[in-house]
Amino acid sequence: MLNPSPHTQQWVEFDHILVKDRDKVILNIPHAILHLDQMTAVIGPNGAGKTTLLKLLHGLIAPDSGSLRFSDSALSKALVLHHTAMIKASARTNLALVRDTDSKISDADIEQALGRAGLQHLADTPAQKLSAGERQRLCLARALLQSPSLILLDEPTANLDPHATEQVEMMMQEYQQDALQVIFSSHQLAQVKRLAGQVVFIAEGQIQEIGKTAEFFLNPKTPAAERFLSQELVRT
Amino acid sequence: MFTAFQGAFALLAHQDQALLGIVWVSLQVSLAALLVGALLGLPLGAILAVEEFKGKKIVVVLLNTLMGVPTVIVGVLVYLLLSRSGPLGVLGWLFTVPGMIVAQILLTTPLIAALSRQILEDAWRSHRDSFMALRLPYRSTLKWLCWDCRFSLTIVILAGLARAISEVGAVMIVGGNIDHATRTMTTAIALETSKGDLPLAIALGMVLMGVVLLANLLTLMVRQIAERRYA
C-alpha cells in the first residue's frame, strides 16, 4: 500500500490554462512545463492563485479553457487542503474514510499510517480534540493512504508551532525519500529554502518563474519575484 | 378541578385499558410516521444539501413552507386522497390507522427534510473540498456527512416526533376519532374536554406531556454528549 512508484522523469504541461471565478480570472497560464523530479514549492502573494493551482493539478477543479497534460496520465494524486474539516469521529475513523475509495485498504494499512504519523496513541481520540499539528499529520497520513504518486499540500505548516512544523516537514521529507513527488505551497521562505529543490513563483494568477530554489532566491528573473522576495525577506 | 386531577391520577395508577388503548394508537401512528418520515426526509435533505441544480432555491422554499403547513390542511388533503371517490380510495384507508400514518408522514417528512437540509448544507460547506479531494463516492459522501451531523440530526428526528405526536387536526380528519380504533391522545383530549370528562383528558394530557418531555430530555442528553466529546 505504501510503496509508490520510484522517481521517474515526470512532468506536467500547462497549455492555455484559464480558470475563472465568475468573471474574475484566477489563473492564466499560456504555457508552462513543470518537472516533478524534486520537491516543489509554490510561492507567491496572497490571492496569487497558489491554492487554485494545486486544486487544478489534483483535478479537484477543471480549467474553464485549456488543458493540463501529465507525462503519465495515470499519475495518482492526493491533495491536503489548508483547512481540512474533520468529521466528528475518532482519528482512526477520519483516516478510514479513504476505504470508501479503495476497498483494498486494510486495518493494518490504517494502523501503519497512524504509526507513521506518530498518532497511534491518539487513534481513538475524537479528531476535533487533536492539536493543529496532530490534525495536519492525520491529514498527511490520510493522503498517503490513497497511494498517490504525487502529493499536493496547501500551506501544510500554516498556523503550526515550530515543533509541529518540524514534524510535518519530516513527514514531507520522508514522502520525497519514498519516491513520492511533493508539491506544496508556502508563505515561509525559510521553509521553502529548507525543503524545496524547485520553486514555482506565481503572481496575479500567472506563473512568473519556475526554477531551482537556490537560483530563484539568488537571482530572481522577474521584477514581480524581486519585489515579492524583498518584501517577504524583510518580513522574515 | 381537584377531583378531576384525582380521577386522572387514578386512571394512570390503575392503568386504565381505555387510556392505554388510546396511548398505544397514538404511539403506533406517530412512531410509524416518524420512521417513514426519517427514511424519506433524511436522504432528501442530504441530497438537497449537496446537489446544485436549477430551481433548488424554489424547492427549498417549498420544503420550508411545507414544514409549517397547518395540520388541518394536510388532513383535508389526505381525506380527499383516501375518500371513496379519491385517487387512493381503493385502499380503504380512510378512518384507519394506516390512513392516519399517511397523514402524519406528510407532516414529518418535510420537517425532517427541511431541518436536515439546513444542517447538512452547513456541514457540506466545511467538508465539500476535502471530501471531493478524497474522491469519496456519492453515497459515501452522504453517509459521512450524515454521520458527522448525527447529533444534530437526532434532534431533528425528535422534533419530528414532537410534531407528529402533538398534532390533532390531521388525525382527527383522516382518522375520524373512532373509539378503540383511531382515537389518539390529542383527539381524545379534545373530545373528552368538550364532553366534560376531565379526568381522562387530564390523564392523557399528562402522558402526552411525558412523551414530549422524554423527547426533550433525550435531545438534551444527545447535545450534552456531543458537546462533551466534540466540543
Among chain B residues, CA nearest to A51: B129
pLDDT, tens digit (0-9, with 9 covering 90-100), for A62-113: 999 999 999 998 899 999 998 888 999 999 999 999 999 998 999 999 999 9
Q: What is the pLDDT of residue A6?
A: 44
A146 and A102 Cβ atoms separated by less than 8 Å: yes
Mean pLDDT over the full length of chain A? 90
Is residue B81 pLDDT above 70, yes or no?
Answer: yes
The domain spans of chain B are 2-230
Q: Measuring CA to CA, which residue among A120, A139, A141 is closest to residue A1?
A: A141
Hey, is B100 helix, strand or coil? helix
Q: Residue A98: its chain B contacts at CB < 8 A?
A: 134
> In chain A, pLDDT over 90 holds for what percent of residues?
81
Is residue A235 pLDDT above 70, yes or no?
Answer: no
Inter-CA distances, A73 with A10, A11, A89, A144, B59, Å: 10, 10, 35, 20, 41
The pTM of this model reads 0.84
Alpha helices in A146-186 (DSSP H): 162-177
Residue with more model confidence, B31 or B10:
B31
Mean per-residue pLDDT, B160-189:
94
Is residue A233 pLDDT above 70, yes or no?
Answer: no
Confidence tier at A57 by pLDDT (50, 70, 90): very high
Q: Measuring CA to CA, which residue among A179, A187, A186 is closest to residue A144?
A: A179
Residue with more model confidence, B8 or A200:
A200
Q: How many residues does chain A have?
A: 236
Map grid coordinates 466534540 to a residue: B230
Q: What is the pLDDT of residue A1?
A: 38
Q: What is the pLDDT of residue A232?
A: 65
Beta bridge partners of A209: A201
Give the closest of B133, B148, B229 to A81, CB-based.
B133
Q: What is the pLDDT of residue A3?
A: 38
Q: Residue A85: its chain B contacts at CB < 8 A?
A: 126-127, 130
Whole-angstrom distance, CA of residue B67 vs CA of residue B125: 23
Is A131 at the interface with chain B, CB within 8 A?
A: no
Q: Residue A94: its chain B contacts at CB < 8 A?
A: none
Contact A88 B226 (CB under 8 A): yes
Q: What is the pLDDT of residue B219?
A: 83
A202 and A222 Cβ atoms separated by less than 8 Å: no
pLDDT, tens digit (0-9, with 9 covering 90-100), for A182-200: 999 999 999 999 999 999 9
Is residue B17 pLDDT above 80, yes or no?
Answer: yes
Is residue A179 pLDDT above 80, yes or no?
Answer: no
A136 and A144 Cβ atoms separated by less than 8 Å: no
Mean per-residue pLDDT, B169-174:
95
Q: Is A45 exposed, middle or buried (0-12, 13-18, 19+ CB in 10 A)?
A: middle
Is residue A172 pLDDT above 70, yes or no?
Answer: yes
pLDDT, tens digit (0-9, with 9 covering 90-100), for A22-49: 889 999 999 999 999 899 999 999 999 9
ipTM of the complex: 0.84
The domain spans of chain A are 11-85+148-235
Beta strand A150-154 pairing with A181-185: parallel
Q: Residue A142: its chain B contacts at CB < 8 A?
A: 134
Residue with more model confidence, A175 or A119:
A119
Consecutive H or E run containing B132 = helix B97-133
Chain A residues 153-212 within an 8 A CB cutoff of chain B: none
Residue with more model confidence, B149 or A233:
B149
**What values do phi and psi take at B65, rounded to 5?**
-70, -45
Is residue A234 pLDDT above 60, yes or no?
Answer: no
Confidence tier at A170 by pLDDT (50, 70, 90): very high
Fold classified for A11-85+148-235: Rossmann fold (3.40.50)
- The hierarchical CATH code for the domain B2-230 is 1.10.3720.10
Cell (9 digits) for A202: 506565481
Query: Running DSSP on this structure, what letter comes out for residue A87?
Result: P
Mean pLDDT over the full length of chain B? 92
Q: What is the pLDDT of residue A4?
A: 39
Q: What is the pLDDT of residue B125?
A: 95
